[in-house]
Amino acid sequence: MDRDQVLVLNAGSSSLKYQVFGTDGSVVVKGKVERLSGEDDHARALEQVTGELRRAGVDEEHLIGVGHRVVHGGHTLTQPSLVDDRVLAAIQDAVPLAPLHNPPALTALRGAREWLDGTPHVVVLDTGFFAELPDVAATYAIDRDLAARHHVRRYGAHGISHEYVARRAAEHLGRDDLRLVTLHLGNGASAAAIDAGRPVDTSMGLTPLEGLVMGSRGGDLDPGILLHLAREAGLGTDGLEDLLHHRSGITGLSGRPDFRELQAGADAGDDVCRLAWEVYCHRVRKYVGAYHVVLGGADALVFTAGVGENAPRLRADVAGGLGVLGVELDPDRNSSDERRTRTISTDGSPVAVLVVPTDEESAIAEATRSVLATGSAPR
């Protein structure tokens, strides 16, 4: 029997997705369990997934390895790695830096290792791509010694997606020296500046809270707001954590956690939704402008993930404010709903605008195969 399949498990804060890939990259089976909250839910979700996989005939006879997405590798874990006790401890140590994301990943990792204990397991980090950020982008301007003692630096997130779409964009435009601004706009959202495949800056920071406005996270804030609310509203660390993770972003602004609902509200003339929409777009444009300068001029802008791939109005509103960079969208190309890498700017636009469907699972499968074949990931 051929032992050539890779199972990918992607445990998010509220979902568990799985995909099994054949050697040629074909998808053998895929699925997801959603709306999970709490450890018990995640453990039950894994049981459900293992049941579904067994019924689909996925087992140790067929699997060459299991690839796991892990959001935060902390300061020690950056490269895709074979799972051992040291790797598990590093992911555990990084839990305070990604309290919503690393615990479900650990639950999936431990459960899957019990189920498939004769199969190698590999972790692929969302922070990994950004381990090479230049110091000037990774360094926070606070007390140097304190920052060093507590490993405070910009780690970034969504690196698997940013790296993947940057590669697809380079293929699509036939150039590997591209200066790119990539916009991963999903429930979480982040921007990255990428020069010839290397990251030079990104919007997420020590934790996945910084940067763009997201579904329920507000991104950039004056840190004084937290001090003010601690003193004036009596919020402790739990209250602040709840505010930052669950009661901010478009949820906090409009009460609508899903971007489609926000758009429907804005279309219906609801001022609260419209303001949230504009705050979201304004923040994206600020980052594009900043990264254009950081890159010394961007060649292309890439939209990806749930919102970036599926919301043409959002892309038009963001790009509409980028005329100063020469960005010019082609309305017909922008409104097409083809699910493939494509250019949506005019042929004359000095900065090309692309939509690139992200595929974190296939990137994880590829990195997993590479670790199993060579002991390290592709670069």
E strands, the chain, in order: 5-11, 16-21, 27-33, 63-70, 81-82, 121-125, 179-185, 189-195, 198-202, 300-304, 342-343, 352-355
> 114: annotated binding-site residue?
no
> 168: annotated binding-site residue?
no
According to DSSP, residue 94 is labeled: T
Min CB(185)–ligand ADP separation in Å: 7
**In the complex with ligand ADP, which residue's Cβ is closer, 7 or 160?**
160
Catalytic residue at 126? yes
Q: Is 341 helix (H, G, I), strand (E, B) or coil?
A: coil
**In the complex with ligand ADP, which residue's Cβ is closer, 138 or 209?**
209
> 187: annotated binding-site residue?
yes
**In the complex with ligand ADP, which residue's Cβ is closer, 305 or 351?**
305
Phi/psi for 150 (5° steps) reads -110, 15
Tokens of 311: 């919301």
**In the complex with ligand ADP, which residue's Cβ is closer, 101 or 154?**
101
According to DSSP, residue 77 is labeled: -
- CA-based torsion, 198, 201, 202, 205: positive or negative: positive
Catalytic residue chosen out of the listed positions 126, 195, 317, 359: 126
Which among 209, 207, 309, 286 is positioned nearest to 252, based on CA atoms? 209
Min CB(343)–ligand ADP separation in Å: 20
> 102: annotated binding-site residue?
no
Min CB(208)–ligand ADP separation in Å: 10
Residue nearest to ligand ADP (CB): 306
> 240: annotated binding-site residue?
no
Phi/psi for 346 (5° steps) reads -70, 160
Min CB(24)–ligand ADP separation in Å: 25
**β-pair partners for 102:** none
Which among 268, 229, 269, 234 is positioned nearest to 248, based on CA atoms? 229
> 32: annotated binding-site residue?
no
**In the complex with ligand ADP, which residue's Cβ is closer, 220 or 258?**
258
CA max distance for the chain: 66
Q: By the criterion CB under 6 A, which residues form the site for ligand ADP?
A: 12, 186-188, 215, 258-260, 263, 305-307, 310-311
Residue that the structure tokens 């971007």 belong to: 259
Min CB(10)–ligand ADP separation in Å: 8
Q: Is 137 helix (H, G, I), strand (E, B) or coil?
A: helix
Annotated binding residues for substrate, written as ranges, equal: 69
Catalogue the active-site residues. 126
Annotated binding residues for ATP, written as ranges, equal: 17, 184-188, 258-260, 306-310
